[in-house]
Amino acid sequence: MVGRLGHAVLEFVFPSRCLGCERSGSFLCDACIDELPRAGAPRCCRCWRPQARSELCPECHAAPPPFESLRSAFVYHGTVRQLVRGLKYRGMTALAEPMAGLLAEAALEFDMETDLIVPVPLAALRHRTRGYNQASELAKHLGRELDAPVRPRALERVRHTPPQARSADAAQRRRNVQGAFRSEDPAVEGNRILLVDDVTTTGATLAACADALNRAGAQSVSCLTFATED
């Protein structure tokens, strides 16, 4: 935690500059917010995969995912990519607050039901080396924005999962992450969970997390990510 004075000192050493246009004053200026590439329709109404019409995609039709819906606010390129990478790899946790503000707008726009916010956990080793979980940072601020409780440790990663190849089919991707997560948090039971992550590629990790939350008695699971890599 950096105190008020700490912030003032940091501000002096590293004045905040917009990640998009380098204008000083904030990490993300209003003009660049307006330019962020939104993950617009048409997409599958359940898994948010882009397709010709806003209806259930063939994969969701054949094997419904364990979550009610998946929504991403933006597409992973340009300034969005810089924001995600800044938060994840450059220790810029101050980005979590403005990013969560945009996530909150998306949650309201998509009418997502939320009793409890849960972040996708990192592997324990990665958490130790990075010192924080970027999804938890987003969840913490999102909880404040939506006035909803956050359970940063509701999910636990029980084994390492390989990066998901986009070429693999949905069934294969789901098998790769099956049983990778567990939830033993009694707060999950009977609640509508909003599962949060910074970026999604295939949705398989979110599906595995949703599966664990369902096993812990969640009433429903909706997934919200800042960006989608499609």
Contacting residues toward Zn ion, per CB under 5 A? 18, 20-21, 29, 32, 44, 46-47, 57, 60
Nearest-approach distance from CB 31 to Zn ion, in angstroms:
5
Residue 81 or 127: the one with the smaller Cβ distance to Zn ion is 81
Of the pair 98, 152, the CB lying nearest Zn ion is at 98
**C-beta of 33 vs 148, nearer to Zn ion:** 33
| Residue 108: CB atoms within 10 Å | 11
Find the shortest distance in angstroms from Cβ 21 to Zn ion. Answer: 3
Rounded least distance, CB 18 to Zn ion, Å? 3
Among 106, 128, 115, 116, which Cα is nearest to 155's?
Answer: 116
Nearest to Zn ion of 73, 216 (CB atom) = 73
CA–CA separation, 4 and 206 (whole Å): 36
In the complex, minimum distance from the CB of residue 3 to Zn ion, in angstroms, rounded to a whole number:
27
Using an 8 Å Cβ cutoff, are 194 and 163 in contact?
no
Helix (H, G, I), strand (E, B) or coil at 163: coil
Q: Quick check: 15 and 22 in contact, CB under 8 A?
A: no
Tokens of 206: 């979110």
Q: For Zn ion, give the closer residue by CB, 82 or 136.
A: 82
The helix/strand/coil state of 198 is strand
Report CA-CA distances (Å) from 122 to 21, 159, 198: 31, 10, 12
